[in-house]
Structure 1
Amino acid sequence: MTRIVVIDNHGQFTHLEHRALRDLGIDTELVDNDTPPEELDADGIVLSGGPDMDRIGNCPDYLELDVPVLGICLGMQILAAELGGTVGGGDYGGYADVNVDILDEDDPLLGSLAPETRVWASHADEVKEVPDGFTHTATSDVCDIEAMSDTDRDLYGVQWHPEVAHTEEGEAVFENFLAICEQ
């Protein structure tokens, strides 16, 4: 059975990410971000959201484990910052319902979503420039880079929170990530 570990970056929705995976019947565990990488037994990793980049623990080391990674909000920002992209303050700020436009219908994480999808997202900080190897896969009028993918390394990020009820098709994001992990 495919096992996906959720890394707890101390965000307010982290337990919902874990529950969403568990409710899909996925073997999952919630672990703190200070867990040594060698102790993770995972076919995929979700880097949760969280309050700030100063409390990301061992997240940079998890990117070297050669398993698919899905970064959510702060998790996406960690991917960008650690792999050569740019992260900065957002113009919008806090949480809001946002319509995102999916830019790549062939993307394994987001391609199955409706071309315009309503999501719940925080834009206090956001990715300003994707790292080399990544494709910009979703945008909105609030944030240019709402999602990004590096399909060669199976690294994916979304600015929004697929685990909350306000996000349309959030379950599909987790199902698509599971399919990526099963390949």
Structure 2
Amino acid sequence: MLPICVVNNHGQFNHLIHRALRDLDIDVALIPNTTSKDEVAAGYRGIILGGGPDIGRAGVCAEYLDLGIPVLGICLGLHIIARKFGGEIRPGKSGGYGSVEVCIREHDDVLRGYPDKLPVWASHADEVCRIPEGFTLLASSGICDVEAVACSEKRIYGLQWHPEVSHTVDGKRVYENFDKICME
């Protein structure tokens, strides 16, 4: 079975995403965001777009969204997804990293098994202010209207928060759910 790739967008937590999957016995590789889309298409069964400091440093990540492979975007990864499909990003009102309680509105495939309210660790330096057409709002919070989205038809999901950090309650469940999606 092919591995899942974590695309390194120069964020401080990309190695933690890689480690979280490895600790779950999910075959995973950490790749640069300049890897060709052909190499990604041939070598991986799922794509996790990691976080990073600036969408201008996202390499060729937007090209991966056309491959028909399941995608999970984390923080900047969510912003790449939103922008590619016509959504809008703006500077967040709350700024840097911190704890936030998200309200899960839709317990879709990637959020299956979570309670309706979930304490997470997130950065809101930038955030999605308009979700793309064809996407469903999965979660919001008191400081951010768009904490998670999905286009189940395309198997593309995005989270504003970081499941891989210890401050997020039961973050591994996101990665277990995404692994199941990648096996379908």
TM-score (norm 1): 0.98
Residue segments in structure 1 that go unaligned for 5+ positions in a row? none
Q: Identity of paired residues, percent?
A: 51
**Partner residue of 1:96 out of 98, 104, 116:** 98
Question: 1:132 and 2:133 equivalent?
Answer: yes
SS at match of 1:109: helix
Aligned pairs, number: 182
**Structural mapping, 1:73-88, within 5 Å:** 73-88=75-90
TM-score (norm 2): 0.97
Q: Which amino acid aligns with 1:44?
A: G
Larger CA deviation: 109-118 vs 122-131: 109-118
Q: Which amino acid aligns with 2:120?
A: V
SS at match of 1:160: coil
Task: Give the equivalent residue in structure 2 for 1:23.
Answer: 23
Residues 127 and 145 of structure 1 are in contact (CA less than 8 Å); yes or no, is this contact kept in structure 2? yes
Q: How far apart in 1 are the matches of 2:111 and 2:130?
A: 19
SS at match of 1:113: coil
Coordinate RMSD, CA, aligned: 0.7
Task: Give the equivalent residue in structure 2 for 1:155.
Answer: 156
SS at match of 2:158: strand
Residues 112 and 177 of structure 2 are in contact (CA less than 8 Å); yes or no, is this contact kept in structure 1? no
Q: Which amino acid aligns with 1:17?
A: I
Deviations 1:91-138 (A, max 9, x none): 000111000000013x00113111100000000000111101100000
* Over 4 Å off, 4+ runs: none
Deviations 1:139-170 (A, max 9, x none): 10011100000000000000000000000020
